[in-house]
Amino acid sequence: MTPQQQADLLRILTEELDALERAGVVALDPAQREAIQKHAAARLKDLAGQFDVDTTQAERQLSMGMKIAAALGGLALVIATVLFLNRHLGRLPVWMQVATLVSAPIALACAASWIARDERRRYFSTLVAVVAVAAFVANLAAIGGLFNLAASPHAWLAWGLFSLALGHHLGVRVLVAAGLTGFLLWTSVLLSGDFGRIDHLEIMMAAGAVIALIPGRWPGLVPGTMAPVFRVAGVSGFLLAVLILSQEGRMSVLPMGRRAAEQIYQVVGLLVSTAVLWWGVKRNWASVFVPGIIAFVAFLLLRMADWLWNLVPKYLFFLLVGLTAAGLIALFQRIRRRV
């Protein structure tokens, strides 16, 4: 359980206890009530002293504001870094340009690590870590431009690994997610040998499946707080690969024609997204359920568009889409009641 979850539980416990007393369900004597309140207050103070946790609803709202500020600030700092390098880098001798480009992500990663030693400064450490990842992306891109290097697909692996390692080191989920996305992109361009040409998407499917299964199969490799990130990235990567293959069969390794491969993946997509949906509901994992439902709806809409777009008037098509959505809502409500 994270420190924030512990703080939330303590807050809910005291609020619920008050509500139960008011409703006459329990009757605590003043000494017991005071002991519980003192314990909760002391524990919350302890948590707030050690970690950057919100102990009241007002603090939670303030934290949301800080998250938005951190995201905007990170974006602004990334733009500032890129513009600064654009303006001044080329005026330096080549060896100084290279030294600056290589040392910037390392220095920023170390700075983020140093700032994160005080848990209460985690917003700042996240901000610096995001800039470190951007600096590494700019580093490889600028070195490539400086020496006319052909864009390499392996840059995705390097960027992914850096982001994953730094995110894991600091416990920043967004960096872990970015790292896994980089890894998935690397697998999708690996065999084409081209930086931007996605091909042989079955490799991305396999990589997505492995990433989604890591937290369950090898729990020692991933901390509990990062398990949902692995599942959401893995399941999304897997389903996205199937979705693309169902529309672009030429990206498949299957030894058959483009159209036949597309038809196979159209069926596979509907079946697999349904299975993923069921897996998410059964385990009560939003990290699996949400990408599952998005993929299921996407597959369904694409099939409907393929089958019906030219067959029925447009108003009827959208009416059918709306009715299908209503049907899905009713279906999920029934599933929810059963679960």
Partner 1 sequence: MRVHALWLAIATVIAANGLGLYGVWENRSGAPDADIEMTSRELRFYGSIEEDGSAQLSMEWNSPDKLFDAPRISELKLQPAGEAKPVWVALEYGGTSWQKWSQGVERLEGIGEQSRLIAFDAGLDPAVLRERHPDGRRVLIVRGTAVAREDGFGRIIGIAHPRLYVPAGIAPNLVVPQPGKGPRYVVRVRSGKKFVPWIADVQPGAKE
Name the site residues for partner 1 (rule: CB under 8 A).
Answer: 86-91, 94, 98, 101-102, 105-106, 109-110, 113, 136, 139-140, 143-150, 155, 158, 161-162, 165-166, 168-169, 171, 193-194, 250
Tell me whether residue 165 or residue 206 sits nearer to partner 1 (CB atom). 165
Tell me whether residue 28 or residue 143 sits nearer to partner 1 (CB atom). 143
Tell me whether residue 229 or residue 276 sits nearer to partner 1 (CB atom). 229
- Min. distance of Cβ 184 from partner 1 in angstroms? 17
- Min. distance of Cβ 232 from partner 1 in angstroms? 20
Q: Is 201 helix (H, G, I), strand (E, B) or coil?
A: coil
* 28: phi then psi, degrees, rounded to nearest 5: -90, 145
CA distance 167 to 157: 15
Tell me whether residue 19 or residue 92 sits nearer to partner 1 (CB atom). 92
CB 189 within 8 A of CB 203: no
Tell me whether residue 165 or residue 300 sits nearer to partner 1 (CB atom). 165
CA distance 112 to 126: 7
Structure tokens at 118: 């005080």
Tell me whether residue 165 or residue 297 sits nearer to partner 1 (CB atom). 165
- Min. distance of Cβ 131 from partner 1 in angstroms? 14
Q: Is 185 helix (H, G, I), strand (E, B) or coil?
A: helix
CA distance 273 to 255: 24
* 205: phi then psi, degrees, rounded to nearest 5: -60, -45
Q: What burial class does residue 129 get, using C-beta atoms within 10 Å of its C-beta: 0-12 exposed, 13-18 middle, 19+ buried?
A: buried
Q: Is 252 helix (H, G, I), strand (E, B) or coil?
A: coil
- Min. distance of Cβ 209 from partner 1 in angstroms? 24
- Min. distance of Cβ 152 from partner 1 in angstroms? 8
Tell me whether residue 77 or residue 146 sits nearer to partner 1 (CB atom). 146
* 166: phi then psi, degrees, rounded to nearest 5: -70, -40
Alpha carbon distance, N-terminus to C-terminus of the chain: 24
Tell me whether residue 247 or residue 333 sits nearer to partner 1 (CB atom). 247
Q: Report the run of H or E that residue 198 belongs to, with start and end.
A: none
Q: Is 130 helix (H, G, I), strand (E, B) or coil?
A: helix
For residue 246, count other CB atoms closer than 10 A to its CB: 24
- Min. distance of Cβ 247 from partner 1 in angstroms? 17
- Min. distance of Cβ 310 from partner 1 in angstroms? 27
Q: Is 27 helix (H, G, I), strand (E, B) or coil?
A: coil
- Min. distance of Cβ 237 from partner 1 in angstroms? 21
